[in-house]
């Protein structure tokens, strides 16, 4: 059984529709889906706020590379264009963690190399997995400690909304 933590985000077109498309495509593989969070853009590019969420899924037929390919297929289906680093996007699907695998491969770095710096990844993840942890610099660190260690402005830029990826 392969278990993945996906961070999803969108700030183009209808962001909520894009996020829900991920949950719909994953179907019964979804174990948990966080609330939707409104997030200030990260990386210094002027653009509208993002909607972000975390999805935890399992599939016995997918390994970490399979999850990466599936995420890229979902981005492509949402007409994702990579024009500017940290720029606006219709859909971003990042593999944050996959079975606790550590990989330095340039195409699939695990855990996600900047997840520990991003409140928009950590806050929704903690909502659906309060015991979440990441390997950072070779040590396993609780996600709640990583979130607490971020600059307050980074944490305050992530606001939980009433929006949901799935019906209650």
Q: Which residues of 56-79 are buried (b: 16+ CB within 10 A; e: fewer)?
A: bbebeebebeebbebbeebbeebe
Say which of 20, 29, 92, 118 is annotated catalytic. Answer: 92
Say which of 20, 29, 94, 97 is annotated catalytic. Answer: 94
Q: Does the annotation count 94 as an active-site position?
A: yes
Return the DSSP state at 59.
Answer: E
φ, ψ at 47 (rounded to 5°)? -170, 170
- pLDDT by residue (tens digit) across 146-160? 999 999 999 999 999
- pLDDT by residue (tens digit) across 118-145? 999 999 999 999 999 999 989 999 999 9
Say which of 3, 59, 63, 80 is annotated catalytic. Answer: 80
CATH at 54: 3.30.70.560
Q: Does the annotation count 92 as an active-site position?
A: yes
Domain limits at 34?
2-164
- Tokens 């593989």 found at: 29
Please tell me the total count of domains within the chain. 1
Amino acid 167: pLDDT: 58
Q: Which three-class secondary structure state does DSSP give residue 50?
A: strand
Confidence of residue 47 (pLDDT cuts 50, 70, 90): confident
Sorted by sequence, the CB contacts under 8 Å of residue 109 that are 6+ apart come out as 103
Total-model pTM: 0.92
Q: Does the annotation count 89 as an active-site position?
A: yes
């Amino acid at each position: 059984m392969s278990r993945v933590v996906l961070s999803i985000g969108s700030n183009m077109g209808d962001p909520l529709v894009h996020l829900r498309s991920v949950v719909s495509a994953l179907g019964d593989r979804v174990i948990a889906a966080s609330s939707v969070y409104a997030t200030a853009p990260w990386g210094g590019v002027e653009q509208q706020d993002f909607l972000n969420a975390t999805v935890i899924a399992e599939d016995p037929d997918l390994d970490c590379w399979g999850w990466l390919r599936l995420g890229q297929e979902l981005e492509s289906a949402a007409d994702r264009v990579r024009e500017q680093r940290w720029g606006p996007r219709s859909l971003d699907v990042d593999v944050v963690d996959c079975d606790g695998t550590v990989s330095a491969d340039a195409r699939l770095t695990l855990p996600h190399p900047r997840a520990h710096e991003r409140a928009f990844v950590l806050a929704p993840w903690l909502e659906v997995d309060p015991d979440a942890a990441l390997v950072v610099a070779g040590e396993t660190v609780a996600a709640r400690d990583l979130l607490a260690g971020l600059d307050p402005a980074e944490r305050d830029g992530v606001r939980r909304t009433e929006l949901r990826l799935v019906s209650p």
